[in-house]
Amino acid sequence: MKLNKETLCVQSGWTPKKGESRILPIYQSTTFKYDTSAQMADLFDLKADGYFYTRLQNPTNDAVAAKIAALEGGVAAMLTSSGQAANFYAIFNICEAGDHFVSSSAIYGGTYNLFSVTMKKLGIEVTFIDPDASEEEIDKAFRPNTKALFGETISNPTCHVTDIRKFADIAHKHGVPFIIDNTFATPVLCRPFEFGADIVTHSTTKYMDGHAMTVGGCIVDSGRFDWSAHADKFPGMTEPDPSYHGLAYSKAFGEKGYIVKATAQLMRDLGSIQAPMNSFLLNIGLETLALRMPKHCENAIKIAQFLSSHPKVAWVNYAGLEKDPYHALAKKQFDGDLPCGVMAFGIKGGREESIKFMDSLKLIAIVTHVADARSCVLHPASHTHRQLSDEQLLEAGIRPDLIRLSVGIENADDLIADLTQAFEKI
Ligand SMILES: *Cc1c(COP(=O)(O)O)cnc(C)c1O
């Protein structure tokens, strides 16, 4: 039976059998018992399916991963301890020293740093491209050793919207998968697989959790990228793995090969598993995701309209606004035509006025976090990106006056009243 997203949010992932817990239980256990040594050996050989050690897999985590996979329309998923771990694993699963990948420059600052600094130390090179560049220009970034293209559905913090179909087509032309971070849109508003993306990542810390309780991440595979058609590029997927008894992931596990490899190799060796307690809390957040996202959008469009007509506001980036350059793309890619509850805007007068404005807010809090039930703001130039000069900020696509506003699920009139009184202070 094909279920709709509201039903999947509540019912998918955990399907209790007779007499079992109605609610997803927390398997608060590092390990799992077997009757014979041979049973355990089969698990280690990946011949049998089952749990043996929570660093690799845990039933609570797997139920939550299955729910996210169902929401995205993927074939398999894996939870990670954070969104950073999800993006690292997603790339590292198919890239090694000497390899290269291409990424949109409109991405989360933490991901930018992971790609440009830390992965470089591992011998993996990245080329950043302007996501609005022409196909011909983006083509030029690809090399014979390029293994993936990466982007964000809605970029944090600039709120740029990626044309998923365009990116997927470019990636496929070069024989590599398109990996997309769908954190801000969530599968409730956008399912990148429907537009040709191959692998989706999430920081579940944001809307999926929705209550700012737990840091977590997830990787979902569409199962559609044909690794064996590009076997020369992806020997790790198609050739026998000596660290797993000569098993070839794409052959042995078919469309689930990518996630099995990420679990069997990367989780085994790097161990960034999500704690079952956290995935239990994440699951509670997911149950209301389909209710919350439309409310975030409904509030956000009201506030974006309020800001864009305010005399003290210099500019607003929110693709829900008709005049926004990404409005047509938002209508094409997002259910309900609106892109999440996050927007970016600038105040006339720049940096100083922005800080004064933020300090005057009463309901809307200054926090590093984004995308949860409570409205909040951040000024990247004086917070997350404070080590950068104004010039470097502009290079990263972040204007010094940019305020990231994450609109929660409160009453929009109360939020507008808070913004109004803060504008009166500047
Ligand atoms: C927050 C965020 C991340 C990093 O996630 P953590 O859970 O904080 O590690 C990655 N991508 C995007 C788009 C984010 O907003």
Name the maximum alpha-carbon separation found in the chain: 74
* pLDDT on residue 44: 83
Length of the chain: 426
Contacting residues for 61 by C-beta, under 8 A, at least 6 apart: 54, 79, 273, 274, 276, 279
Cα–Cα distance, 402 to 29 (Å, whole number) = 45
The 10s digit of each residue's pLDDT in 376-413 is 999 988 887 877 778 878 877 788 889 999 999 999 99
Q: Is 181 in the pocket of ligand 1 (CB under 6 A)?
A: yes
Section 328-346 average pLDDT: 97
Q: Is 111 in the pocket of ligand 1 (CB under 6 A)?
A: yes
Q: Is 279 in the pocket of ligand 1 (CB under 6 A)?
A: no
Q: How many CB atoms lie within 10 A of CB 230?
A: 17
Q: Is 380 in the pocket of ligand 1 (CB under 6 A)?
A: no
Q: Is 83 in the pocket of ligand 1 (CB under 6 A)?
A: yes
The residue whose CB lies within 8 Å of the most ligand 1 atoms, and thus the one to mutate among 111, 179, 199, 207, is: 111
Q: Is 215 in the pocket of ligand 1 (CB under 6 A)?
A: yes
Q: Are 184 and 200 in contact (CB under 8 A)?
A: no
Question: Beta 100-104 vs 125-129: how paired, if at all?
Answer: parallel
Q: Is it the case that residue 269 has pLDDT exceeding 80?
A: yes
Tell me, in angstroms, the distance from the centre of ligand 1 to residue 366's CA: 18
**Where do we find the tokens 């890239």?**
95
Element (H, E) at 307: helix 289-308
Q: How many CB atoms lie within 10 A of CB 112?
A: 19
Cα–Cα distance, 361 to 364 (Å, whole number) = 6
Q: What integer best gives the mean pLDDT of the chain?
A: 95
The 10s digit of each residue's pLDDT in 48-78 is 888 989 999 999 999 999 999 999 999 999 9
In this structure, which residue's CA is closest to atom 6 in ligand 1? 83
Q: Is 202 in the pocket of ligand 1 (CB under 6 A)?
A: no
The residue whose CB lies within 8 Å of the most ligand 1 atoms, and thus the one to mutate among 150, 154, 155, 156, is: 156
For residue 132, what pLDDT band results from cuts at 50, 70 and 90?
very high
* pLDDT on residue 147: 98
The 10s digit of each residue's pLDDT in 208-262 is 999 999 999 999 999 999 999 999 999 999 999 988 888 899 999 999 999 999 9
Element (H, E) at 203: strand 199-203
Section 334-345 average pLDDT: 96
Q: 37-46, 190-199, 278-287, 303-312: which range is least confident on average?
A: 37-46
* pLDDT on residue 383: 82
- Looking at the CA of residue 107, tell me the nearest atom of ligand 1: 13
On the CB side of 249, CA atoms within 13 Å amount to 25
Tell me, in angstroms, the distance from the centre of ligand 1 to residue 148's CA: 19
Cα–Cα distance, 340 to 212 (Å, whole number) = 16
Q: Is 406 in the pocket of ligand 1 (CB under 6 A)?
A: no
What the chain holds in terms of domains, given with CATH numbers, is 5-277 (3.40.640.10), 290-424 (3.90.1150.10)
Q: Is it the case that residue 47 has pLDDT exceeding 90?
A: no
Cα–Cα distance, 99 to 84 (Å, whole number) = 20
Contacting residues for 361 by C-beta, under 8 A, at least 6 apart: 377, 418, 419, 422
Q: Are 188 and 5 in contact (CB under 8 A)?
A: yes
* pLDDT on residue 301: 98
Tell me, in angstroms, the distance from the centre of ligand 1 to residue 83's CA: 5
* pLDDT on residue 394: 80
In this structure, which residue's CA is closest to atom 7 in ligand 1? 83
**Per-residue DSSP letters for 78-121?**
EEESSHHHHHHHHHHTT--TT-EEEEESSS-HHHHHIIIIIHHH
